[in-house]
Homo-oligomer: A and B are copies of this chain.
Amino acid sequence: MRAAVHAATLAELVDRGYAALSVENVAQRAGVHKTTVYRRWKDRESLLTDALAEHMAMDIPVPDTGAIETDLAALARSIVQTFTSPTGQAILAAMFTGAAHLPEIAAARRQVFDDRLARAEPVVTRAIQRGELPGDTDPAELLKTLAAPIYLRLLITADPVDETTADQAVLVALTAARGGALRTDHGARGQGRKGPVIS
């Protein structure tokens, strides 16, 4: 039932957007009674947050191609694919416009990003072990450098986001890492306390 309700939530989001999202519509689409949905999720906000977290967690397999160039290209292209599909565009719109004012959604944005980052870190540590990157490369900083230009385009500039965007992000991140700009002594301070953030 949970999977069906999640799928129905995302489908409603794609077809109608966050403003029109309702527990009633989701229940109908999932073919269950709305009281069944309410038993598990108290409102449309928790339905949305839960469906998004589930979807984003499943979405990206962590590549292990044996070379950092192809691993990072796979990661960057999967970010691009995630957010340029119809479902991804609907999720992005919900997370950053329609439902952006909900504190749960701000927390979900951070959570999804942190989870993905943590799961992808082995890509960098394996590359360090293979001698493809300097030994003191900061995995989290490298992965944030990879993701940052893609999110900038998605969220602010409206430049096209495609495979070329992904490959360019790989080139920048690898060049910076190999040039010693992404060492742990720089990046470590980002791991400490959480600073003020919009919410």
Contact = CB atoms under 8 A, between A and B. Distances in A.
A122 interface: no
A161 to B, nearest CB: 6
A20 interface: no
A168 B186 contact: yes
A182 interface: yes
Contact of A160 (B171, B181, B195): B195
A50 B98 CA distance: 22
Copy number in this complex? 2
A96 B182 contact: no
Contacts of A165: 190
Given A100-B100, A172-B145, A178-B179, A93 B199 contact: yes
A157 B191 CA distance: 11
Contact of A190 (B19, B110, B159, B172): B159
Contacts of A190: 153, 159-160, 165
A189 B148 CA distance: 18
A92 interface: yes
Interface in A155-199: 155-162, 164-165, 168, 171-172, 174-176, 178-182, 186-187, 189-190, 192-199
A97 B19 CA distance: 14
A106 interface: yes
B93 A97 contact: no
Contact of A144 (B149, B160, B174, B196): B149
A172 B164 contact: no
Nearest to A189: B164
Contacts of A198: 89, 92-93, 96-97, 154-155
Interface in A99-146: 100-101, 106, 109-110, 113-114, 141, 144-145
Contacts of A51: none
